[in-house]
Amino acid sequence: MSLHETPNADGAAPGAAVEGKAPPAALLHQLLAQLNVSADLQALHGACAKAEQSLPAVQPAERVRFILTQVQLKGVQPIQLAWRRFDLRRLPALVLHEDVWYRAERHDGDNIALTDAAGARQTVAESELQSALVLWLRPPAQRSKSTTPSLKGNLAARLVWRELFREPAWVAKVLTATVIVNLLAISTSLFAMQVYDRVVPTLAYSTLTTLVAGMGLIILLDWGLKILRARIVDSVSVAVDKRVSQQVFDHLLHLRLDIQPKSLGTLAAQVGGLDSVRQFFSAGVIFGLIDLPFALMFIAFIALIGGQVGWVYALLLPVALLLGLTTQVRLRDLLRRQLQRHNERQGVLVDTIRGAESIRANNATWRFSEEWQAITASIDGYSIQQKAINSFSSVTTGSLSTLAYVAAVVVGVWQIEVGLLTMGGLIACSILGGRVIAPIAQGVQYLTQWQNVSQSLQMVNQVLSLDLERRADQHLLLPESPPQTLELEKVRFAYPESPVQQVNVANLSLRAGERVLLVGPVGCGKSTLLKVLAGLYRPHEGRVRLGDADLWEIDPQVVAGHLGYLPQSVHLFKGTLRSNLALSGTVGDSRLLKVTRDLGVDAIAASSPLGMDHSISEGGEGLSGGQRQLVALARVVIAQPRIWLLDEPTASLDAESEAKVWQVLEENLRPEDILIVSTHRPMLAMKLATRVILMQQGEVVKDGKPESVMPQLLARAAINRPADALPARKYMGGAPDVV
């Protein structure tokens, strides 16, 4: 069922009952205003009237989409669904209740405030709206008004800053070395001035020898200080990179899975943003930025030696700085958009590699090739603009440097004419002048790299801003006794940015010794419910109780020790067969060998000369879907948890392997264990089951013993299946699917 199909009270698809009942223009205008979307009320009235004439019998969502298109609000997306599937966090919305449209808002507790088109307001209990129709408007994505990557409140910048100055002694060493290096740079100009003013006129070679010897010592000291400074910064940057990258990776491992970004390429690029930060601090960039303030010191020395010549550089320095700052302003938004497109291309690359078989089998290579070409073209366009801006800035700064030199010589000649400057002094001023303008040209490039670092820190900050599975300051519980129950109390769950509730369970209690089959049609919420029970997804309302405590208040290590979860989509990791069977690394060889033999996983090892050291590639490529499923199931069986949560454990298996799986589960389940299995093929599992739960649209609609629930399900399956389908399924060795 799509988002635009609305089930009625008995779960059926929407029909003519709501066709033609579009919400009034006044309510639409009020809701759009609450969503910060501006719309003209008269235009909405006109569009509503036109929709009533053009579309007399369509669903409300289709009519509202037509209305929004007429008033040129194409970024707003209407979504229609039943109230009981609606996530109340997405209010306000429009509600069709008792054949009247209202604007619904959260009031207090479980009450909902309803406002009609005339402005009359009433409050009803949330339970009274179970049969109501919801029309929710997804507003257009809001663009940030400021493209400046501010680091204020940036968690990544704060983390790097804290680790950078964890041992601040290195800062004093680097600053001392930098000051001395820049002071030593003055000696070159003094050397030239003395040579031209004292040595050349008198050919005083003894003086020249003394000056050369002094310069040799200065050059050696300068070389040593620069090497020492580089080593200090390199060692600090490496240490910071180790600590910061480890903290970011650990944060990634403990993210709440329900809010984790779904694009793997984008997520990998965000975490990889630390590379540019490390390169920035480990390169010579940091020295260039440190050297920039010393330009004022060189101007002071030029003024001390050359008098009026100092004004030349004092006037041109602000011009060079203004040019650099203007360049950065022009590059900020450009670099941000370029980085976003890089992330998108990374996502396309990951999707293409992972789905290469599907792409080729469906002859879709042209589509991904065009998408890659379009993204690359935009990146190249941004790159050309960036290079053009950088080239303009560099060339202009170089011209300013030449202009400064020419102007300094002209002013110097006037100073020599009046006897205020010597020839050597003019040459010394020219040498020092190169230390004023040239660093500005380099500083533009450095600031460009800093813009990349700022954007990278913003990317990493997006990851660090995501909530962890447990709060950092949370005092976690460590119950000693194993849990006897797993319970849900008024649990509701919806994915981020989605108005549809995937799970809505008022009360569900699973007790020690129960063997539960979880059945229902595709998309009814079985897999999501198992993830909520496993503590992988956190409900936005209600509680999940493991034993006597809230599951989310228990230490994750304790939870993992009691719960064993088999996902529907199995993933194997690069390594060996043994490392994939024993991910925790705490499995005894005897139990590992027994379980692999019982499940038939030992056949994989027997087919390889390396045995259990058989190499497994990323994702388990090289193994069939059934083999991957058996390996993942063996992980759970080997761990022997107290509560077993299995999502379609036999979906990819043949009849023989399926029967073997149920036999292994029966042998390894202890009397006090709880088993919850989601399956569309329940017949072979019936000998284990003590309870059957039927889900529809995220809710538990039937819950009872197998002998009372299964006959109803099988009867419904027989009615909904063509007559010739049952023998074929029986021949394949399976059972009729539950629909």
Report the C-alpha gap between 305 and 292 in whole angstroms: 21
User: Is 5 inside a domain boundary?
Assistant: no
Q: What is the mean pLDDT of residues 478-502?
A: 89
Q: Does 19 score more than 80 pLDDT? A: no
CATH assignment of the domain containing 584 = 3.40.50.300
The pLDDT, as a whole number, for residue 508 is: 93
- Assigned domain for 380 exists: yes
Q: Which two tokens stand for residue 736?
A: 């009729």
pLDDT of residue 130: 85
Short-list 494, 506, 523, 493, CA closest to 697 = 523
User: What is the token pair recorded at 661?
Assistant: 């799986």
User: Which residue would you say has higher pLDDT here, 160 or 271?
Assistant: 160
pLDDT given at position 673:
94
Residue 365 shares a structural domain with residue 436: yes
pLDDT at 202 over 70: yes
434 lies in a domain? yes
- Statement: residue 15 has pLDDT above 50: no
Same domain, yes or no: 455 and 496: no
For residues 306-324, average pLDDT: 82
pLDDT 10s digits, 625-636: 889 999 999 999
pLDDT for 177 equals 87
State which amino acid sits at residue 352. Answer: T
288 and 414 belong to one structural domain: yes
pLDDT tens profile 590-626? 888 999 999 989 888 888 888 888 888 877 877 888 8
Within this chain, do residues 434 and 542 fall inside the same structural domain, yes or no?
no
- CATH code of the domain containing 130: 3.90.70.10
Same domain, 171 and 121: no
Give SS3 for 184.
helix
The pLDDT of residue 720 is 58
How far, in Å, CA of 425 to CA of 195, rounded? 10
Range of the domain at 188: 155-464
- What is the pLDDT at residue 633? 93
Whether residue 63 contacts residue 55, with contact meaning beta carbons closer than 8 Å, is answered with: yes
pLDDT at 145: 43
- H helix runs in 91-168, sequence order: 155-164
Residue 53 pLDDT: 82
| Domain termination site, one of 83, 106, 138 | 138
Measure the CA angle with vertex 384, ends 381 and 388; round to 5°.
145
Give the CATH number, domain containing residue 290. 1.20.1560.10
Residue 16 lies in a domain: no
pLDDT score at 440 = 64
Most confident of 59-68, 138-147, 309-318, 666-675: 666-675
Say if 649 falls within a structural domain: yes
Residues 577 and 661 reside in one and the same domain: yes
Q: What's the CA gap between 32 and 53, in Å, rounded?
A: 23
* Cα 603 from Cα 585, distance rounded (Å): 22
pLDDT band of residue 691 (cuts 50, 70, 90) is very high
Bridge partners for 492 per DSSP: 504, 541
Same domain flag for 170 and 279: yes
Last residue of a domain, one of 400, 429, 464: 464
Sign of CA dihedral 202, 205, 206, 212: positive
User: What's the rounded mean pLDDT across residues 367-388?
Assistant: 88
Full DSSP string of 45-80: HHHHHHHHHH-SSS-HHHHHHHHHHHTT-TT-EEEE
Rounded to 5 degrees, φ, ψ at 661 are -60, -50
User: What are the CA-CA distances from residue 361 to residues 53, 355, 356, 570, 620 (Å)?
Assistant: 46, 10, 8, 22, 20
Asked whether the beta carbons of 488 and 541 are under 8 A apart, the reply is no
Do 201 and 334 share a domain, yes or no?
yes
| 106: in domain | yes
pLDDT attached to residue 407: 87
Supply the pLDDT for residue 732.
34
For residue 724, the model assigns a pLDDT of 46
| Cα separation, 455 vs 151, whole angstroms | 9
22 φ, ψ to 5°?
-85, 150
Same domain for 130 and 160, yes or no, is no
- At 669 the pLDDT is 93
737 pLDDT higher than 90: no
Which amino acid is residue 736, in one-letter code? P
What type of residue sits at position 450?
Answer: W
Question: 294-306 and 309-354 are packed helices; what angle lies between their axes, rounded to 10 degrees?
Answer: 160
Q: What is the DSSP pairing of strand 541-546 with strand 549-550?
A: antiparallel
Number of structural domains, the chain?
A: 3
Q: Which of 79-93, 240-254, 271-285, 337-351 is most confident? A: 79-93
Percent over 90 (pLDDT), the chain? 19
Question: Do residues 129 and 71 make contact, with C-beta atoms less than 8 angstroms apart?
Answer: no
pLDDT at 445: 65
Answer whether residue 562 is part of any domain.
yes
- Residue 11 predicted with pLDDT over 80: no
- As a whole number of angstroms, the distance between CA 450 and CA 141 comes to 28
Q: How many helices (H) and strands (E) does the chain have?
A: 24, 18
Mean pLDDT of 416-440: 80
Q: What is the pLDDT of residues 350-373, one digit of tens each?
A: 888 878 878 888 888 888 899 899
Q: Distance between CA 187 and CA 257 in Å, rounded?
A: 61
Residue 647 has pLDDT above 90, yes or no: yes
What's the mean pLDDT when you consider all of the chain? 82
Of 216-220, 261-265, 323-327, 530-534, the one with minimum mean pLDDT is: 261-265
Average pLDDT over residues 211-238: 88
Half-sphere exposure of residue 661: CA atoms within 13 angstroms, side-chain side: 28
Q: Report whether 633 contacts 649 (CB < 8 A).
A: yes
Give the pLDDT band of residue 114 (cuts 50, 70, 90).
very high
What pLDDT score was predicted for residue 232?
86
- What is the per-residue pLDDT for 453? 76
For every residue of 321-337, which 3-state class applies, written as one string?
HHHHHHHHHHHHHHHHH
Asked whether residue 254 falls in the same domain as residue 165, the answer is: yes
Which pLDDT does position 473 carry in this prediction?
Answer: 79
pLDDT band of residue 111 (cuts 50, 70, 90) is confident
pLDDT confidence bin for 729, thresholds 50/70/90 = very low
Pairing of strands 133-138, 77-82: antiparallel
By the 10 Å C-beta count (0-12 exposed, 13-18 middle, 19+ buried), 43 is classed as: middle
Q: Are 592 and 638 in contact (CB under 8 A)?
A: yes
- What is the per-residue pLDDT across 537-586, written as a single tens digit (0 to 9) for each? 999 889 999 998 999 999 988 998 899 999 988 888 888 888 888 887 66
| CA gap 518, 359 in Å, rounded | 33
Q: Could you give the CA distance from residue 547 to residue 672 in angstroms, rounded to a whole number?
A: 13
Final residue belonging to a domain, choices 464, 493, 511: 464
CA distance 340 to 382: 11
Question: Are 169 and 261 within one domain?
Answer: yes
Give domain status of residue 470, yes or no: no
Q: What is the DSSP letter of 131?
A: T
* Same domain (yes/no): 492, 608: yes
- Mean pLDDT value across residues 276-305: 71
